Amino acid sequence: MELFEVYQTKIGDGDRTIESCLQGFADHGGGTPLPPAPRGSKRPRNAPAFDARTQLHRLTGVDLTRLDGIDAHSALKVVSEIGLDMSRWPTEKQVASWLSVSPGNKISGGKVLSSRSRRSANRVAAVLRVAAHALHHSRSALGAFYRRMRARLGAPKAITATAHKRACLIYNMLKHGTEYVDQGQHYYEQRYQQRALSNLSRRAHELGYNLVKDAAPGPLPA
């Protein structure tokens, strides 16, 4: 018990040090109040002893916890690893590649030998993959994206694809100071259907056909 209390004291000292460091950065929140935490969000057991969400909002000017699956503790890990200066990566694809959440391009003689993502010990990549895995039952747009990728590619590749998408969202939020607004699963499904119909219409037109919507579709032929 005495050793446990010593550990708790040291953890508290570390949390106070982190909070002090965060308070030393410039305020980019613009004085805007932080909106309430998402409904149903729970405080992790290993979360810092201070209000990390408020400190991160003041530091970055955006609320990274709006991304489904990212809590204040995860957002703190992301910011501590990649920083606030997004000019080091000209595009979102480059930051995703740096985090090793992009497909590989092992090519020899013009032939793609492997597109497997590189292995990495990057803490942000680990956070994004864990957050992606937690979206299996989410009703958000990211949850719908993960389930569709999982149905097409399998769980490992779906986790990487969702981690890649989330890395791009975080990059744009920090670079442009824009908040993420979740449109929900229904919005994502509608957008996917529109893209599928557009691709089918373009392909049919290339083959000399026109798509006609059936007003009363019957049963599929045997």
Residue 77 belongs to some domain of the structure: yes
Residue 221 lies inside a defined structural domain of this protein: no
Decide if 183 is inside a domain.
yes
Q: How far apart are CA 182 and CA 175, in angstroms?
A: 19
Structure-model confidence comparison of residues 216 and 50, the more confident one: 50
Closest CA to 75 of 178, 170, 181: 170
Per-residue pLDDT at 125 exceeds 80: yes
Residue 132 lies in a domain: yes
Quote the pLDDT of residue 116. Answer: 64
Q: Is the pLDDT of residue 7 over 90?
A: yes
- Sign of the C-alpha dihedral, residues 116, 121, 126, 127? negative
pLDDT band at residue 29 using 50, 70 and 90 as cut-offs: confident
Residue 52 lies in a domain: yes
Residue-wise pLDDT tens digits, 129-172: 888 888 888 888 888 888 888 988 888 888 889 999 999 999 99
Domain with 123, as residue range(s), is 22-32+46-105+113-206
Structural domain contains residue 129: yes
In whole angstroms, give the CA distance from residue 98 to residue 117: 11
Question: Is residue 122, in this structure, part of any structural domain at all?
Answer: yes
Residue 4 lies in a domain: no
Instruction: State the Cα angle at 128 between 183 and 90, rounded to 5°.
Output: 85
Distance CA 221, CA 205 (A): 24
Beta-bridge partners for 108:
111
- The pLDDT score that the predictor gives to residue 171 is 92
CA-to-CA distance for 173 and 74, rounded, in angstroms? Answer: 15
Collect contacts of 186-192 with beta carbons under 8 A, ≥24 apart: 187/141, 188/141, 188/144, 188/145, 189/144, 192/144, 192/148
What is the pTM for the complete model shown?
0.76
- In the predicted model, is pLDDT for residue 218 greater than 60? no
| Total structural domains within the chain | 1
